[in-house]
């Protein structure tokens, strides 16, 4: 099987992964959390410089983990967009140069295609709440058609995936992404940055009915999401009553935020008639979300925890799908970074 090396530098983590035949042979992610924590968010220029400083070492570690040499790599892929333009350029330029030097194909990848590939891969399969993956990543892969929910710190959207080259957006967030809202509320209650996972952990000990929070887009009936009003309601409550238990705030916020994601996703499933659901992005690791969707009657596919957040292995997995379809760009080495790149829509009018 060809060995595909994937690079993701779309935001604040340097990710390099190596995949072969749908199996992850290496997945190395160097976090920048410590670099940005003091600022309460990602500093784009600092992120770009850090990627530049460490990318060589991360590639070397991925090769060592996989037990490979550079000469064993058969294709190189990298995130083209969306993301922070400076950060994207580091990984994209490095990958293009590497592919050119090795005389192997270069495959530019949409960041969200990577998340979808990670969740749909065999080692991320789940059906009816049960893990279907066996040892070595063998299990039931999610083949199109399926409904896809991508929920992360930078993206929250629903897609109808009729084929890997036929993807239609059904709805998206009108303001904050779900993960972004989690991080902002976490900071309000003193959990620091990034705080989404810490908030979910704290919520386990709280009363999720303690706060009467507004339900996002209540009564609208569409397939879009909104988290800004919910976040603002929490901010106002914290300002009025600073003595409110943080666990109750976390639990109440999580109940409404995750409930909204589930409500809209199930509505989309009814409208499209699709029973297979792929959930991707960092918020896919949230236990309340997983439990709710697993018990919904849908065939659910989640990425394993190590592939839920940004990483290079998901880019390699997406590249493998393109290579298998021979869906390659003739002038791939001329591909530029695209910080606002939309995910491909289904063919048709408009």
Tokens encoding 309: 């957040």
Distance CA 236, CA 240 (A): 6
**What's the mean pLDDT in 63-91?**
96
The mean pLDDT value of the chain amounts to: 88
Residue 113 CA: distances (Å) to CA of 5, 48, 58, 159, 186: 16, 22, 22, 11, 28
Provide the 10 A C-beta neighbour count for residue 190.
Answer: 10
Q: Is the per-residue pLDDT at 345 higher than 60?
A: no
Residue 173: which of 118, 229, 214, 213 has the closest Cα? 229
The DSSP output letter for 273 is: T
Query: Which of 28-32, 75-79, 114-118, 177-181 has maximum average pLDDT?
Result: 75-79
Residue 146: enclosing H or E segment and its boundaries? strand 146-151
Interatomic CA distance for residues 189 and 185, integer angstroms: 7
Segment 269-289 mean pLDDT: 93
SS3 percent helix, strand, coil of the chain, rounded to 5, is 45, 20, 35
Q: Give pLDDT tens digits for 178-214.
A: 999 999 999 999 997 778 899 999 999 999 999 999 9
Q: For the chain, list the domains and their CATH numbers.
A: 4-121+308-334 (3.30.420.40), 144-302 (3.30.420.40)
Range with lowest mean pLDDT among 136-140, 165-169, 304-308:
136-140
pTM higher than 0.75: yes
Q: CA-CA distance, 220 to 235, in Å (whole number)?
A: 24
Q: How confident is the model at residue 51 (pLDDT cuts 50, 70, 90)?
A: very high
């Amino acid at each position: 099987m060809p060995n595909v090396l994937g690079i993701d530098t779309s935001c604040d983590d340097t990710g390099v992964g190596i995949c072969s035949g749908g199996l992850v042979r290496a997945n190395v992610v160097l976090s920048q959390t410590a670099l940005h924590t003091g600022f309460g968010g990602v500093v784009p220029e600092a992120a770009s410089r850090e990627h530049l400083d460490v990318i060589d070492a991360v590639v070397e570690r991925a090769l060592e983990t996989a037990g490979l040499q550079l000469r064993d790599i058969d294709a190189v892929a990298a995130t083209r967009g969306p993301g922070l333009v400076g950060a994207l350029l580091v990984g994209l330029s490095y990958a293009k140069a590497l592919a050119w030097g090795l005389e192997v194909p270069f495959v530019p990848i949409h960041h969200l295609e990577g998340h979808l590939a990670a969740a749909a891969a065999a080692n991320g399969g789940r059906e009816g709440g049960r893990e279907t993956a066996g040892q070595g990543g063998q299990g039931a892969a999610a083949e199109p058609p399926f409904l896809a929910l991508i929920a992360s710190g930078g993206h929250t959207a629903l897609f109808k995936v009729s084929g890997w080259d036929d993807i239609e957006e059904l709805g998206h967030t009108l303001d904050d992404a779900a993960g972004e809202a989690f991080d902002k509320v976490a900071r309000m209650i003193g959990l620091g940055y990034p705080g989404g996972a810490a908030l979910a952990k704290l919520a386990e000990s709280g009363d999720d009915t303690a706060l009467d929070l507004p339900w996002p887009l209540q009564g609208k009936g569409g397939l879009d999401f909104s988290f800004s009003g919910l976040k603002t309601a929490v901010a106002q409550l914290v300002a009025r009553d600073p003595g409110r238990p943080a666990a109750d705030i976390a639990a109440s916020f999580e109940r409404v935020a995750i409930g909204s994601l589930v409500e809209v996703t199930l509505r989309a499933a009814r409208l499209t008639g699709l029973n297979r659901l792929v959930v991707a992005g960092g918020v896919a690791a949230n236990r309340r979300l997983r439990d709710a969707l697993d018990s919904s009657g849908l065939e659910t596919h989640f990425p394993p925890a190590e592939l839920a957040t940004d990483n290079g292995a998901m880019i390699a997995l997406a590249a493998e799908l393109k290579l298998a379809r021979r869906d390659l760009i003739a002038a791939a080495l001329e591909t530029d970074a695209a910080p606002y790149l939309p995910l491909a829509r289904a063919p048709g009018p408009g």
